[in-house]
Amino acid sequence: MEQPSYLAIDHIAYATRSTEKTSAFFTALGFEVLFHKQPIDTFGVLITKLRSPAGEIVEVVEPLRADSVVSRLLVNVEACVYHVAFRVGDMQATQASLASLGGVTVTTPMAIPYPATAEHRSLTTSHMFHPAVGLFEITG
């Protein structure tokens, strides 16, 4: 099988009960807020994107409803790493390769469903799960 075409880490997402507290941590490190608390009704969350001076992206995900997946992750903690998104060159080949290793597709490939940078508006994303790493995302 063809090797996945990994390019870079696209972003790291944190689940949090308080976007303000989590964002304050990253802004203290020099990150700038790109989007603040944009609702994604499909997933029941609010998304905030921040960018470091070097260009790395952090996504802060706060539950919008008690029944969102993020709410269930935060039962015993205030915040946690939610997922890492990997930028890939070939979504289909990467998804097939990771599936052959036990990866399970959680969301079918879709246009990025939240406010995105100009660069991200042309990309596709899919969430997957693997027992060895948990939830992750591939974007390309």
Whether residue 30 lies inside any domain: the answer is yes
Distance (Å, rounded) from C-alpha 93 to C-alpha 96? 5
1 within domain boundaries: no
Residue 97 structural domain? 6-139
Residue 104 lies in a domain: yes
Sign of CA dihedral 93, 13, 83, 111: negative
79 falls within a domain: yes
Number of domains forming the structure of the chain? 1
Query: CA-CA distance, 44 to 73, in Å (whole number)?
Result: 13
Give the pLDDT of residue 6. 86
Residue 18, SS3 per DSSP? coil
CATH number at 30 reads 3.10.180.10
Note whether residue 122 is domain-resident.
Answer: yes
Looking at residue 60, what is its pLDDT?
97
Q: Which residue in the block uniquely carries the two structure tokens 């399970």? A: 104
Residue 38 falls within a domain, yes or no? yes
pLDDT value at position 115? 62
Helices of type H across the chain? 19-28, 69-73, 91-100
State how far the Cα of 108 lies from the Cα of 80, in Å rounded to an integer. 24
**pLDDT tens track of the chain, all 140 residues?**
455 588 999 999 999 999 999 999 999 999 999 999 999 888 899 999 999 999 999 999 999 999 998 999 999 999 999 999 999 999 999 999 999 999 999 998 988 766 667 777 788 899 999 999 999 999 98
